[in-house]
Amino acid sequence: MSQVVDSTVAPVPALRRAQLLLARQALEAILAAQRPADAILQELFRDNRQCGSRDRARIGDLVYGVLRDLRRLRAIAPQADAGALCALRLLDLGQAGAETLADWGIAAAPALAQQLAQFDPAHLSAAQRHNMPDDCYARLLAQYGEDEAAALAQALNGPAQVDLRVNRLKSYREGAQQRLAEEGVAAAPTPRSPLGLRLAGRTPLQNLASFREGWVEPQDEGSQLIALLLAAQPGETVVDYCAGAGGKTLALAAQMQDRGELLACDISQTRLERLSPRVQRAGLRCVKLLALPDEGEMARRAGRCDAVLIDAPCSATGTWRRNPELRLRDPDFAALQKLQLEILAAAAVLPRPGGRLVYATCSLMAAENEEVIGRFLSEHPEYERQDAGAILRAAGAAWDEPELRMLPQRHGTDGFYAVAMQRRAQ
């Protein structure tokens, strides 16, 4: 629902000096901070209200373009700061000349133009060409092989679609699609999720009455399938153990027809506070918010819950299309795996005998997915895997595989992994 337009379309020509300076300002903040690029751009535009939609598009295009090509740009000009990186991107695309850029305050532009002309791309490693940390690309090569890893890397550098989930408490898919059309927004049903609509282009959702009234929520189709995999039912006690921004919380509440109890948990009180207005907009009463850790509350619920979803903290490599700034980090997979196993063990006490447990990540890496599940099941024989395909087909989704693994180059979604488990009856 961001107002930010990212680099998912062809580069926009005729950049102006003011736009370049704002792009440099945003990029400086992104490179220095551990915060999402879209949040930084939103703040920039809020502080510079003279920026119209075309300005925002051009600034966002330049910033995201640099982020999606950062390793190559840094190989060309290793000492380049944010302004020089923006200039190098513009020189590379032929959108501005060195003299113009120098006049706009990028004194290094002539030298950058010379470095660009002399650079031999044969010197780039595969990881640099694909704009990935070396370790991440090595892991993808080991998992998928050279051809598939290259296709995956290319897809991660491409555009991310806008998917919406229809809130069945307020509408149905055809009705929401028609209302969007009346608001001037073209949308088509997603191929796998029975709840999804895929927009033909980006649009500021906050301007749509259908969004403000809770008919639709932004949610990637893969994320929709993860929520469906839990098979939450009306009247049940359900826990969203790592609720975060709450997209899956809202989807689970709709599955439950707003009947029963849905506990949305997170270690961040701030994230839970941001979830509260989304719950209100969706018209939900069954959702309760709980900041973790709360050992007393968890102890009271041990062995009593019907279903628990763990959308685990992870490297988020599957979201690189939307969040290219995450490529700046080199994930500590050993530390992430340790945390994921700790969360799984803590949440595993909650389901009743016969209850359900779903583990999910937006990671592409086996260290956070198959390895975690393999170790968890070896240490927790009270749990057994379930057939994800059977569960999803029962929910009206189109999925045949026994586990849920979605990849952008195959499915046109973000990268996701999820496994459904059931606690054995005593």
Active site residues per annotation: 362
In DSSP terms, 187 is beta-bridged to 199
CA angle 241, 245, 250 (to 5 degrees): 75
Alpha helices in 98-172 (DSSP H): 98-103, 109-118, 126-129, 134-156
Taking phi over 0 as left and psi of -120 to 50 as alpha, with beta for the rest, 290 belongs to beta
Local structure of 263: helix, strand or coil? strand
Residue 423 host element (H or E): strand 416-423
Q: Are 76 and 115 in contact (CB under 8 A)?
A: yes
Within 10 angstroms of residue 300's Cβ, the number of other Cβ atoms is: 9
Phi and psi at residue 266, to the nearest 5°:
-165, 155
The radius of gyration of the chain's CA atoms, rounded to the nearest angstrom, is: 23
Residue 263 pairs with which residues in a beta bridge?
Answer: 239, 288
Q: Which secondary structure element, helix H or strand E, spans residue 73, and what is its range?
A: helix 70-76
Q: What is the C-alpha separation between 114 and 106, in angstroms, rounded?
A: 14
Burial class (CB in 10 A: 0-12, 13-18, 19+), 99: exposed
Pairing of strands 416-423, 404-406: antiparallel
For residues 136 and 173, is the Cβ–Cβ distance under 8 A?
no
